[in-house]
Each structure stands twice: as C-alpha cells, then as structure tokens.
C-alpha cells in the first residue's frame, strides 16, 4: 500500500470505522473533488481492513461502466462465488445469470429482487464467518442495477458485522450515500470530506512518488498552483521534473486554467501503441488484456506495457483501468469524433455480450440505423432476462432514438417495450409518458390494446382505479381478437372490479379471462386465470373447485413475471382457510412465505403476512401469529410501501386482539385504516373481524355492534356468499343476542346456517349452532339451547380451530350454569379456560374465569389432569408426533407442547417414555394416574 500523506485525521476516522465493523452495520463515505485523494484513502482503508483479518468485497467502477448492467455487482461478488452452492436454487440461478456466469435458461426473465436477495444471502453468509467490508470506489459510476442491489442489501443488514465503505466525487450524484443516511442511524454513518493537502504533505508526496526533491519556494508554488490537490500537484511536478531550475526565477508553472492540457502533455510521452491501448481501456468496461489485443492487433501487448510503465494504466484482478479517471477521460475525449466512432465500432466487433456490443454500436452510429436499433432492442431483451429491467428500458429508448422517424411501427413497438420495462423497474411516471404516446399514435388493434392494458396497470398503480378500469374496458374492445391480450385485460378487470367490491362482476371477468387464456394456449396464463376463477367462484358461494385448483397449481410457474396475488399458489391457502381446512391453509401459507422471502418479494410478504397471521390466530397459535406479523412489519419497513405498512399494522392488531391487548389492537386498527382508507373493503373486514372478536371477549356488545354492524349490509349488497370470508357475522349475531335485538341476530344466524349447510362449512355450522343456542337460552329455552351447542361441538371436531371450540364450550358452560347444572358447567368452563390459556387468548380466558367464579364449586386439584391434558397425554404416550397430536386434538403444535409441559409437571415425569410407562400402569377403569405415580 502506498504511504498516505497529510491525512492523519482522516486515517483516524478510518480506524474508528473499522473498530465498529464487528458491531455493524456501519458505513463510511469518503467525499472529495476529482484528484483530491479519495481512492488513495479508500485503498488505505481496505488495506487496513484486510490487515485486521476482515474479508473485503470491492468494486472500482469507471465512468464507462455506468451503463453496463451489474458490472459493479460482478466486481463485488466474483470473489465470493464459492458460496453459490449454499444458496436456494432460485437465488443461485438468478445471481449466476446476473454475473454472466451462466446462460439464462427458461422463458421468463430473472426477477431483480431475487438477484438482490441472493446478494444479501451471500453477504450474510460471509458476515457469519467474520467482519466484512463492502467497498465501492467512485460510487457515482456504479451502474443502476448494481445500485439497486446494494440499496436492497444495505437496508437489510440488521446486526451483521458489515462495514460499507464508499468514495464519492463531490458534484456527482449517487443514490448510495443518501440511501445509507436513510438506512442507518446517525451514529452508524460517518462522512469524511477531503480538503487540500498541506504544503508539507504535497512536498512529501512528490518526493515519494516521483523521487523529486523540491526547494521550499518551489514546493510552495506547486502547492499554491495545485490548490493542495494531490493529483494536480503530481502532474505539475511530473511536468517540471528535470528542469526545476527553469522555474526558480518565477516562470509560470505548467498549469493555468486547464488541467486537461497538463494531462495532454503527460499523454504526449506515450508511444502511439501506448496511447491507443489507453484509449481502448478508457472506452471499454474494465477490459482484459485480450480485448485490447483483439482491437489493436499485434501492437496491443506493447501498448499495454508502455501505458503501464507510464503510469496511465494499471492492472487489477486480470482487468485494466486508467490510473485516474482524468487520464482516461482526456485520452478518450482528445480523439477526433470520427476516431472515437471507429474505436467503438472495433469494440463492438470484439465483444460478445449483447448489451456491451449494442452500446458500442450506438456510440459508433452517426444517425438512425435500423441494424443498430435492432441490436439495441435485442440487448434490451437480454438485459431484461438478466433482471435489469431499468437497463432494458434505457436500451429500448436508445433504440427508439436510432429508429428511422418514418418507421412508425418500429418506433411504436420499441416505445411500448420501453414503457413495459419502465413499468417492471417501477419507473411508473416514465412508463406512463411512453405508453400514453403509444396509445395516442398507434392504430386500433391488438398491439394498441396491449399498450392500453399496460397503461391501465400503470394508472392503477398510481391509485386511479376508475381510470384504470376505463382503460381496461377500452383495451378489451380493441383486443378481443387476440386471446392472449384479452386474457390479460380480463384478469385486470377481474382484479379491478374485485377491489371495487363488485364480486359477481369480478367472477364474470375471471371466467372470460380463462376462456381467452385457454384459447391462447399460454400455460402460464391458463394457470393464473384458473386461480382467479377459483378465487372468485369461492367468494360468491360456488365452493372450492378443487380439481381446477389442482390443475392450476400443477401448471403454475412461479418464475413467470406475473403478480402472484390471486395466482393459484396464493389462492389455494385462502380458499382452504375459508373452507375450514386450517392445517392445509396454514402449511401452504407458511411455505409461500418462505418462498417469497427467498425471492425477495417483500410486497407479497406484506400482504401474505396479513393472511398468515390471521390463519395462525384461527389455529390458536399466538407465537406463530406474532412471528408472522413481525415478518410483515419488517418487509414493509424495508420496501417502504404504504399499503404494506397498513397490512403490517392490521396483522399486529390481530395478534393484539388474540392476546387481549385492547389498547394496542385499537391503535393498530386506526393506523391501518388511516393508510388504507376505503381502498380495500376485503382487507378492512380482516381487521374489523379481529377487533369485533376482542370487544366480544370483553363483553362489550354495544362496541361489537359499532365495529361490525356497518359491515353486515356489505354482505347482503356485495354478493359475498362464502361464510369463511365473513367470520364477523357470527360475532355480530352473538352481540345482537346480548343486546336483545333477536330478529336481527336470527337473520345473521339463518345466513350462516344456509351458506354453511349448502357448502358444508363446518366452521359456519358450528358458529351458527352456538349463536342459535345463545339465542334460545336468552329466550329461556335451555334444553333446545343445549342441543344446539352440542351440535356446534360435533362440528368443531372437524376443525383445527381450538379457540372457536373453546367459545362453544364457554357457551355450553353458561347454559349449564343457567340451568343450575354446576358440575357440568364447571367441567365445560374449565376445558374452555384451558384451551384459551394454551392459545394465549387472554381476554377469552378471563371471560371463562369470570364464568367459573359464578359456578360456586371448589377449584380443581392443582395436579389433576384436565380433559384436554388427558387426551394429549394419551396421544403422546401412543408415540404420535407433536404435529400428529395437534391434528387429532385440534390444537396447534405449540399449544400441544404447552399442554405436554403442564402434563409433565403435574405427573412429575420428564419424557414421553416415562409418560407412556406411567399411563401403561393405569387401571382399565380409566381413572387418572395418581400425581406421584401410584396407580
């Protein structure tokens, strides 16, 4: 490492930064003017890091590389490619394609989020081995796709021992430093701005680098002329070396207003071959010596050697680069324009990678050129396949600029492609501008309809649902004859009308989408359309079409660039949840969360977090519900999506409701409602259902009606006929019974019975029977009431929804108590309490305790097993796994573990083997074993 002169305070900052890396993440930004010594200090920091035993991944992008997709990421990750086999296969494939380590395979482009999450996985794996530094020199030249990946990684480092080290030229913009300021607390990010060197430091620098001893007056003049800029000072000193005496008398030093003239003088000492080699290196993207030889022929090797000896080129990791950006820029720009064009033409012939070749062809072009425009269009497709949608959009726009103005169809096609790629890269406003122009200029037909459909998606993402639906309908009128276009538009119409709560219309559009998809023969479209049909059919009460769902799942390609929302993998757990298939839904949702996490699909995780949290609450698994809500919160904070924050708050409200934390539940509902407004009635129902359930557990029937009553009319008006979508109906019916509004309650109970009976929904039938039992009990018809509650408990045996079962036991206990059947009341209430406590349903547990206190019988002996504990103990002793016990006992696996812990404590055993031995000695009469083990 070269000695660093005059930077004592800055070196101390570097040491402080490195001290903090093991407790990272931390970041250091080294900023300064061109030539001020940023790279020198950056390199010193890297050497110091490696001297401490830290691992370092580094990139040194040049201005010529800023347009080449993933050039910086390739530099960073190439030394760590031995980690690729450790990654999940989607991540491994994505990053290999991005780094050009593997050819893209398959019909669908790589998702850039999967590349980003793969990079994050690699960084985390390295950080597990020890402190890690991610270093980027001249970060302003980092290519946009690499910037996106580094932004993604930096926001998600959590407590990893990672330091981020970047240098930045003042006056040049980069998203990375501002992103670091957002991602890290103030005490974790330091910025060092380099000022001029002192005269003494300049003198020492010149002496060390050029072996030139300056007199004090001359060193003072060099310092003054260069402004303390080390690069300028070295160039001045280099220019006067050997003729110092000429300048003792005060003759002007060879630096006036233009540094480039000084650099020109330095380049004049190069041989012709050396100058040409430098020009190739400056124009290319970190070329290997082989590329220089391919462009220059036999003079290439000699030219490289000459440029290296002159200090204008340096070699690093098998690649060449100018020793300073000013040297490369001057060598490149001093060529006549025609020479630059010829150089790019030769480079285009010498490189194979489509994006680099197309960009060189574009720089060689003198005007519109169809061959070059076609190459740029093909390069855009290649960049898109690699996951660089932003680069694809920029290449497509270059293709438009090099397309003959008279070739209107070509211009429109390329404009539509650019708009599509901008949409995929989330550059929504530019996508809108391009697509609006295409729609305005194109002739009616399928191509215009496709662009109109894309414009509708853009407008929808901007929150203008009505305008989006209008565009979709107009597009459908023009695109009916193209089955693929029509299928896409019909699916968009289905989603739009669903969000407007017109569910019959959404169903009709979904069936039309499927018909068009099947006509197109596009397997991905067919799979997605079948998922949308299954979803909508279930919603309006036509049940779950399991055969169609199975077909959709079999055909689904998760790599396809379509929204997973309402695709079959997303639809399946939703409809299973509504149908009461709790275990299947829970497992499918958890699996989908893992897949989306592997792929970096944070927006999907935000929405999934809402449903999987709700599912865990239904399953009585508070720990998992809390974990899923936290995952949704983390994803929402990482991606900054407002609706995602609302979904996270809604999920957190469900956890708080189950835990009986009324204040937090109400606050979280208010947060979510403030963001969502009236955007999604469907998701509002999820939140309000939980809040209404909490108010019911607290015994505040009027509050239940305030929360849930307004949504009842929605059930009748919207066409919803799936009871699982509206669990709040049962809670509202129970509250109405408590308020004495029996006719209104009966109407809701009838709806639950009718829809539940027609679709054989065990949950709806159980809830309806419980509510009718409570209604009958309020009328004094206790025998009939008990029959209804017993009917509810029979249906609960078909479900893995323990809290619902416990609620029916609570109702049973209340009815027994009113009928003065104290022993039966106590038994039912104790079992209900046990389940509520096992599930963490604190408010419901308190309601059960309150009822028990009214019974008036003595408490159960502390070591006496309850009915549930006895059942779980018997199943465990039989050798079943926790998961199998959970299925048979209708508890979550975590609840089973909690019950077994209590059983072990009461029976003073420490393993399943001891438990089995103890229960084997139990008399056939079925009496419970004595707590001390005596039978």
pLDDT value of position 47: 93
pLDDT value of position 564: 57
Residue 183's pLDDT band (cuts 50, 70, 90)? confident
pLDDT value of position 608: 83
With a cut of 50, say whether residue 924 has pLDDT above it: no
In 263-419 the beta strands, taken as DSSP E runs, fall at: 313-316, 319-322
Give the number of residues written for the chain.
935
Instruction: Copy the structure tokens of residue 313.
Output: 């080129």
* More reliable by pLDDT, 248 or 624: 624
With a cut of 90, say whether residue 881 has pLDDT above it: no
* More reliable by pLDDT, 681 or 850: 850
Per-residue model confidence as pLDDT tens digits over 217-246: 777 777 777 777 777 778 777 777 777 666
pLDDT value of position 618: 87
Per-residue model confidence as pLDDT tens digits over 188-201: 888 888 888 878 88
pLDDT value of position 329: 79
* More reliable by pLDDT, 354 or 500: 354
Helices (H) and strands (E) in the chain, counts: 46, 7
With a cut of 70, say whether residue 256 has pLDDT above it: no
Asked whether 21 and 163 are in contact (CB, 8 A), the reply is yes
pLDDT value of position 26: 92
Mean pLDDT of the chain: 86
Average pLDDT of 634-663?
Answer: 85
With a cut of 70, say whether residue 249 has pLDDT above it: no
With a cut of 80, say whether residue 730 has pLDDT above it: yes
Give me the phi and psi of 494, to 5 degrees please.
-65, -45
* Element containing residue 59 per DSSP (H, E): strand 55-59
d(C-alpha 516, C-alpha 448), whole Å: 18
What are the CA-CA distances from residue 321 to residues 66, 151, 168 (Å)?
14, 26, 18
Residue 562's pLDDT band (cuts 50, 70, 90)? low
CA angle 380, 98, 323 (to 5 degrees): 95
With a cut of 90, say whether residue 472 has pLDDT above it: yes
pLDDT value of position 928: 42
pLDDT value of position 246: 62
Query: What is the DSSP-derived secondary structure letter of residue 334?
Result: T
d(C-alpha 602, C-alpha 458), whole Å: 20
Average pLDDT of 624-653?
Answer: 84
d(C-alpha 851, C-alpha 196), whole Å: 80
Average pLDDT of 707-729?
Answer: 85
pLDDT value of position 132: 96
* More reliable by pLDDT, 571 or 886: 571
Per-residue model confidence as pLDDT tens digits over 109-157: 888 888 998 999 999 999 999 999 999 998 888 888 898 899 889 888 8
Highest mean pLDDT among 54-58, 387-391, 621-625, 712-716: 54-58
Q: Is 304 exposed, middle or buried (0-12, 13-18, 19+ CB in 10 A)?
A: buried
d(C-alpha 125, C-alpha 102), whole Å: 22
With a cut of 70, say whether residue 681 has pLDDT above it: no
With a cut of 80, say whether residue 21 has pLDDT above it: yes
Give me the phi and psi of 193, to 5 degrees please.
-105, 120
With a cut of 60, say whether residue 746 has pLDDT above it: yes
CA angle 635, 641, 647 (to 5 degrees): 65
pTM of the complete model: 0.74
pLDDT value of position 547: 96
d(C-alpha 42, C-alpha 28), whole Å: 10
Q: Which of 331, 190, 221 is nearest to 274 (CA)?
A: 331
> pLDDT above 70 covers what percent of the chain?
92
Per-residue model confidence as pLDDT tens digits over 780-838: 999 999 999 999 999 999 888 999 999 999 999 999 999 999 999 999 999 999 999 98
Per-residue model confidence as pLDDT tens digits over 305-364: 999 998 889 888 888 988 887 788 788 888 898 998 999 999 999 998 888 899 999 999
What are the CA-CA distances from residue 195 to residues 28, 31, 262 (Å)?
16, 9, 22
DSSP calls for 147-204: HHHHHHHHTT-TT--EEEEEEEETTS--HHHHHHHHHS-GGGEEEEE--PPPHHHHHH
Judged by DSSP in three states, 55 sits in strand
d(C-alpha 829, C-alpha 855), whole Å: 9
Query: What is the DSSP-derived secondary structure letter of residue 724?
Result: G
Asked whether 890 and 808 are in contact (CB, 8 A), the reply is no
Residue 931's pLDDT band (cuts 50, 70, 90)? very low
pLDDT value of position 930: 36
Average pLDDT of 664-686?
Answer: 77
């Amino acid at each position: 490492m070269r000695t660093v002169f005059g930077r004592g305070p800055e070196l101390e900052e570097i040491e402080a930064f490195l001290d903090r890396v093991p407790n990272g993440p931390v970041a250091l930004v080294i900023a300064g003017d061109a030539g001020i010594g940023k790279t020198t200090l950056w390199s010193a920091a890297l050497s110091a890091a490696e001297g401490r035993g830290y691992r370092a991944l580094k990139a040194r992008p040049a201005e010529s590389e800023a347009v080449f997709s993933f050039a910086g990421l390739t530099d960073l990750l190439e030394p760590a490619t031995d980690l690729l086999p450790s990654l999940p296969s989607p991540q491994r494939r994505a990053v290999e394609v991005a780094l050009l380590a593997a050819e893209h395979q398959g019909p669908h482009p790589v998702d850039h989020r999967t590349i980003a999450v793969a990079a994050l996985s690699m960084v985390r794996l390295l950080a597990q081995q020890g402190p890690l530094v991610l270093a980027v020199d001249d970060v302003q030249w980092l290519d946009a796709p690499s910037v996106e990946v580094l932004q993604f990684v930096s926001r998600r480092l959590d407590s990893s021992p990672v330091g981020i080290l970047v240098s930045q030229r003042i006056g040049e913009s980069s998203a990375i430093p501002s992103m670091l300021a957002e991602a890290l607390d103030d005490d974790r990010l330091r910025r060092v701005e380099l000022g001029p060197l002192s005269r003494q430091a300049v003198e020492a620098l010149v002496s060390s680098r050029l072996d030139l001893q300056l007199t004090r007056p001359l060193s003072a003049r060099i310092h003054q002329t260069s402004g303390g800029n080390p690069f300028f000072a070295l160039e001045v000193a280099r220019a006067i070396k050997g003729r110092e005496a000429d300048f003792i008398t005060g003759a002007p030093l060879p630096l006036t207003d233009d540094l480039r003239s000084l650099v020109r003088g330095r380049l004049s000492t190069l041989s012709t071959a050396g100058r040409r080699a430098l020009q190739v290196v400056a124009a290319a993207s970190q070329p290997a010596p082989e590329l220089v030889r391919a462009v220059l022929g036999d003079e290439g090797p000699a030219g490289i050697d000459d440029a290296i000896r002159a200090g204008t080129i340096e070699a690093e990791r098998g690649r060449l680069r100018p020793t300073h950006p000013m040297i490369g820029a001057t060598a490149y720009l001093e060529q006549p324009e025609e020479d630059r064009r010829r150089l790019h033409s030769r480079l285009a012939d010498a490189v194979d990678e489509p994006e680099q070749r197309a960009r060189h062809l574009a720089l060689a072009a003198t005007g519109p050129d169809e061959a070059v425009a076609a190459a740029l269009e093909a390069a855009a497709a290649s960049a898109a396949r690699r996951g660089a949608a932003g680069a694809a959009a920029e290449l497509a726009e270059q293709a438009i600029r090099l397309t003959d103005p008279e070739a209107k169809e070509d211009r429109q096609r390329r404009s539509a492609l650019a708009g599509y790629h901008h949409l995929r890269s989330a550059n929504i406003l530019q996508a809108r501008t391009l697509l609006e122009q295409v729609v305005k200029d194109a002739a009616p037909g399928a191509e215009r309809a496709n662009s109109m459909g894309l414009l509708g998606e853009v407008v929808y993402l901007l929150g203008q649902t009505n305008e989006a639906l209008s565009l979709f309908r107009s597009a459908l009128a023009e695109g009916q004859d193209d089955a693929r276009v029509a299928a896409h538009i019909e699916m968009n119409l289905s989603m739009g009308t669903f969000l407007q709560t017109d569910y019959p219309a959404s169903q009709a559009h979904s069936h039309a989408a499927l018909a068009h998809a099947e006509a197109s023969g596009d397997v991905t479209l067919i799979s997605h359309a079948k998922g949308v049909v299954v979803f909508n059919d279930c919603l309006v009460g036509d049940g779950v079409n399991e055969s169609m769902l199975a077909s959709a799942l079999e055909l689904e390609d998760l790599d396809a660039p379509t929204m997973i929302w309402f695709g079959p993998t997303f639809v399946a757990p939703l409809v299973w949840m509504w149908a009461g298939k709790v275990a299947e839904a829970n497992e499918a949702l958890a699996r989908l969360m893992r897949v989306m996490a592997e792929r970096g699909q944070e927006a999907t995780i935000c929405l999934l977090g809402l449903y999987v949290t709700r599912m865990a609450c239904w399953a009585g698994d508070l720990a998992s519900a809390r974990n899923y809500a936290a995952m949704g919160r983390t994803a929402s904070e990482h991606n900054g999506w407002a609706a995602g924050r609302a979904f996270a708050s809604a999920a957190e409200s469900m956890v708080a409701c189950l835990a009986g934390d009324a204040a937090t539940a109400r606050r979280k509902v208010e947060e979510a409602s403030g963001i969502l407004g009236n955007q999604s009635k469907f998701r509002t129902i999820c939140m309000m259902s939980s809040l209404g359930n909490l108010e019911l557990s607290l015994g505040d029937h009027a509050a239940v009606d305030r929360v849930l009553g307004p949504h009842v009319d929605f059930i009748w008006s919207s066409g919803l006929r799936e009871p699982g979508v509206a669990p709040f109906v049962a809670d509202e019916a129970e509250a109405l019974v408590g308020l004495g509004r029996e006719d209104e309650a009966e109407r809701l109970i009838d709806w639950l019975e009718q829809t539940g009976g027609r679709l054989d929904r065990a949950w709806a039938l159980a809830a309806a029977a419980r509510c009718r039992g409570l209604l009958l009990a309020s009328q004094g018809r206790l025998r009939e009431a008990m029959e209804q509650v017993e009917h509810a408990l029979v249906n609960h045996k078909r479900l893995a929804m323990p809290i619902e079962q416990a609620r029916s036991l609570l109702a049973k206990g209340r009815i027994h108590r009113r009928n003065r059947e104290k022993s039966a009341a106590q038994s039912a209430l104790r079992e209900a309490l046990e389940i509520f406590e096992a599930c963490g349903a604190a408010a419901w547990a308190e309601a059960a305790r309150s009822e028990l206190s009214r019974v008036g019988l003595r408490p159960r002996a502390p070591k006496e097993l309850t009915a549930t504990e006895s059942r779980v103990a018997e199943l465990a002793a039989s050798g079943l796994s926790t998961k199998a016990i959970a299925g048979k006992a209708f508890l979550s696996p975590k609840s089973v573990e909690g019950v077994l812990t209590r059983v072990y404590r009461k029976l003073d055993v420490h393993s399943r083997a001891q438990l089995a031995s103890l229960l084997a000695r139990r008399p056939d009469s079925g009496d419970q074993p004595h707590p001390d083990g005596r039978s």
